[in-house]
Amino acid sequence: MIKRNISRRGLMKGAAVAGVGLAAPQFFIRGAYAYTNEPKGGSVILGFNVPQTGAYADEGADELRAYQLAVEHLNGEGDGGMLNTFSSKALKGSGVLGKKVEFVTGDTQTKSDAARASAKRMIEKDGAVMITGGSSSGVAIAVQGLCQEAGVIFMAGLTHSNDTTGKDKRANGFRHFFNTEMSGAALGPVLKNAYGTDRKAYHLTADYTWGWSQEGSIKKYTEQLGWETTAAVRTPLGAGDFSQYITPVLNSGADVLVLNHYGKDMVNSLTQAVQFGLRDKQVNGKDFAIIVPLYSRLMAQGAGENVKGILGSTNWHWSLQDEGSVAFVKSFGQKYGFPPSQAAHTCYCQALLYADAAERAGTFMPSEVGKALEGFTFDGLGNGPTEYRASDHQCFKDVLVVRGKENPTSNYDLLEVVEVTPRAQVEYPAEMLGGELGPYNNGA
C-alpha cells in the first residue's frame, strides 16, 4: 500500500540523482547514503507493522486507524489533533523536515516470524526509515532486534513486557507504553484497599514473554502485601476454551483469580470464569475477586457485562479530560465514529514523538533521532508530564488504575478511572531489569 505519485518532474529529478550517483566516486556514494533508507525525494516512508489477524487483531485495526490519523496531522490535514496540545512545537503540519509523510503497512499476524518478515519487507523493499506498531511483546522484541540489525528506528506499539526495555532492550528501540513492573506498582496499593492483605491468588498466565513478565510483577507486589500465591498455571496463547484451566480454580482454596491474558484470550478466559460463577462466589468467607492486570477498552467491549467491577491497569483511557486526550478523542471520533483505544493512543503518540525528534535533530539518522528522544520531556499527549528515559528508552508517566463500570452509559463507556498513580511511585532504576542498550546502528 504505497501512496506514491510519480510525476514527470519527479522522474527527471530521480534520473538526475541516479546519474550523479553513478558518476560519483566510490567514497562519495558512501556519503550519499549515510544511513539505511535515507529519504532522498520529497517524501519519507514510515512502516506500520500491526496485527491484522490473530488473537490481537482488534488492537491492530485500531493502531492502523491511529497511524493514518497521525500521518494526516503530520502532513497538515484534518484538525491537527494532539499536535496542537503537544508541548514541543517543532512540527508545523508540513510533513517532517519538509518531506511529506507516507506509509506502508504490514501484518504481524501476532507471530514473531511473520512480524519480522513483514518488517524486513518494509525496510528492504519499500524503503521505510522507521518501523512502528505491534500488539504483542513477543513480536515487539523480535522486530526490535531486526530493526537494530537493519539500522532503522523501532517505535514499539502496544507491548507491556518488562523485557522490551529491560533485558532485551536495544539502542534503536523506544517504548511509550508502560510495563508490567509499573502495573504491579500501581495496582498494589489499590488491591490492598479493595481486598485486604490476607488473600490467596491463583494465576492463569499466557505462556510467552509478556505473560511471564506480568505474572512475576503481580506476584512480587501482591506478595509484598502479604498475599499468598496458590498456583500459577501457564496456558497456551490462543487456547480458546479455557474451561479446563478454570475448573481447577473452583476448589483450589484461592479467593482471587489473576488473569494474565490479553486480547481475545482475556475475553474468552474472563467470560468463561464468570460463566463458572467465579465473580459471585464466596471463598474463605470473602467475596471472590478477579483481576485483569492489563485492561483495554477493546477487551472490555468483547467481554461485555463480564467486566463489571473488575480491577486492572491501563496506559490511557478516552474519558480522560486533559487537553491532549480531549483533542485526540475529538479528531479520532469524528473520523471513525467511536473513541480510540489505548493501543491507538500509544501508536499515535509514537508516530508524533518520532516525527518531532527527527524534526528537532534535523535528520532521520537513527543515532541522531535517538539522541533527540533520550531524556526528552514532554506534555500534552494525554498522559501528563512524560519523560523518555535515556538509560533504557522507556517512557515514564502516571499510570491509570481502572475498574469495569457497573452502569455503562454507552458501548464505549465501560471503564472508570479509580486512581491515577503518580510517576514517582512506579519508577524503578534502569539496572533493575538488566539488559544493555548497546550502540546505535545507522545501517546503510
User: What is the rounded CA–CA span in Å between residue 380 and residue 227?
Assistant: 38
Least distance from C-beta 422 to another protein, angstroms? 25
- Looking at the Cβ atoms of 411 and 425, the one nearer to another protein is 411
With contacts defined by CB under 8 A, how many residues of the chain interact with another protein?
Answer: 42
- Looking at the Cβ atoms of 113 and 124, the one nearer to another protein is 113
- Looking at the Cβ atoms of 61 and 117, the one nearer to another protein is 61
Cβ neighbours of 151 (radius 10 Å): 20
Among 337, 407, 429, 431, binds another protein (CB under 8 A): 337
Least distance from C-beta 196 to another protein, angstroms? 21
**Torsional class of 266: left (φ above 0), alpha (ψ -120 to 50), beta (otherwise):** alpha
Among 193, 275, 284, 377, binds another protein (CB under 8 A): 275
Q: Which amino acid is at 439?
A: P
Least distance from C-beta 239 to another protein, angstroms? 9
E strand segments, 309-431: 311-314, 377-378, 386-388, 395-396, 399-404, 415-421
- Looking at the Cβ atoms of 57 and 156, the one nearer to another protein is 57
| Site track 287-316 with another protein (rule: CB under 8 A), x = hit | ---------------x-x------------
Q: Where are the alpha helices (DSSP H) in 252-307?
A: 263-275, 297-303
199, 228 in Cβ contact below 8 A? Answer: yes
- 267 binds another protein per the rule CB under 8 A: yes
**Torsional class of 110: left (φ above 0), alpha (ψ -120 to 50), beta (otherwise):** left
The two beta strands, 256-260 and 43-50, are unpaired
Question: Which strands form 153-156's sheet, in the order they lie side by side?
Answer: 100-107, 43-50, 130-133, 153-156, 173-175
The two beta strands, 311-314 and 399-404, are antiparallel
- 58 binds another protein per the rule CB under 8 A: yes
- 276 binds another protein per the rule CB under 8 A: yes
Which region among 159-167, 249-257, 349-357, 428-436 touches another protein (by CB under 8 A)? Answer: 249-257
3-state SS class at 441: coil
Which region among 215-223, 265-273, 362-370, 393-401 touches another protein (by CB under 8 A)? Answer: 265-273
- 68 binds another protein per the rule CB under 8 A: no
Q: Pick the closest to residue 215 from 294, 144, 289 (CA basis).
A: 294
Query: How big, in percent rounded to 5, are the helix, strand and coil portions of the chain?
Result: 45, 20, 40
256, 288 in Cβ contact below 8 A? Answer: yes
- 241 binds another protein per the rule CB under 8 A: yes
Which region among 23-31, 95-103, 174-182, 277-285 touches another protein (by CB under 8 A)? Answer: 277-285
- 417 binds another protein per the rule CB under 8 A: no
186, 175 in Cβ contact below 8 A? Answer: no
- 251 binds another protein per the rule CB under 8 A: yes
- 383 binds another protein per the rule CB under 8 A: no
Among 32, 243, 379, 416, binds another protein (CB under 8 A): 243
Among 245, 295, 364, 388, binds another protein (CB under 8 A): 245
Q: Please, what is the Cα angle at 152 between 150 and 158, to 5 degrees?
A: 110
- 83 binds another protein per the rule CB under 8 A: no
- 408 binds another protein per the rule CB under 8 A: no
Q: What are the residues binding another protein (CB under 8 A)?
A: 52-54, 57-58, 61, 231, 233, 236, 240-241, 243-245, 247-248, 250-252, 264, 267-268, 271-272, 275-277, 281-282, 302, 304, 318-319, 326, 329-334, 337, 339
